[in-house]
Each structure stands twice: as C-alpha cells, then as structure tokens.
Amino acid sequence: MAKDDNFILEDSKKLMLSDEIIIQAIQEIYKDEIRESIKEKLKANPRLEGELKEAIKEYMRGKLLEAGAQGRMLKVVAELGLISLPESFRDEMVKSILKAIGPELDTLLKNTL
C-alpha cells in the first residue's frame, strides 16, 4: 500500500509541474502581447516614445549616481574603520584588503576606461 501512495504522489508532482509549465507559457504569451501592444502605441505617438526614452535615461543616470554615492560612502566607512584600528593592525589590514580586491579592481578599471 505504501508503494501505491508513493506512486500517486510522484504522478501528482509530475502533473503539477506540467501545469506550472503551461501557466508560465501562457503568462509569457500574454507578456509578449502586452509588449507588442505597448510598442505599437509608442510608435503611433512619437511624443510619448521620446518622453519614455528620456525618462529611462534619467532613471539610469540616477541609478549610476546612486551607485557612485554608495561607492563613496563605502570608501569613507572603510577609511573610518582603518583609522579606528590600532596602528599595529592597520598596515596588515591595508595589505590584506589590497590583496583581496586589487586584481578585481584592476580588471574593473581596465574594462571601464
């Protein structure tokens, strides 16, 4: 009897997975239709299309400014942490940090400049 129960559970899981896949596929179809409808409406109204493009540029600029501010804050926090350490640990900590992030930082700078 236990084998029969296990068999039923396994088949139920397979059915649920196929149901989920079907639901996801239908959702993707609707998303595609919505995208197409929005694209058509934007092409029909160049003013709205331009405003949307400008808004996206402003949004991305804001995100980049936010990332820059976070980087500066991280730098200040790291510096505060370092100057709060006893001098005997400070040099060792700086070397460890540079060893850990130096190669990644070098790669990042080379790729962005």
Q: What is the DSSP string of 30-73?
A: HHHHHHHHHHHHHHH-HHHHHHHHHHHHHHHHHHHHHHHHHHHH
31 assigned to some structural domain = yes
**Within a domain: 90:** no
Q: How far apart are CA 104 and CA 28, in angstroms?
A: 37
pLDDT at 9: 66
Which residues of the chain fall short of a pLDDT of 50?
Answer: 1
**Residue 20: per-residue pLDDT:** 81
Q: What is the DSSP letter of 85?
A: S
Domain containing 2 equals 1-44
Number of domains in the chain: 1
pLDDT of residue 5: 61
24 domain-assigned: yes
Residue 85 belongs to a domain: no
Q: Residue 3 falls within a domain, yes or no?
A: yes
Can you give the pTM of this predicted structure? 0.53
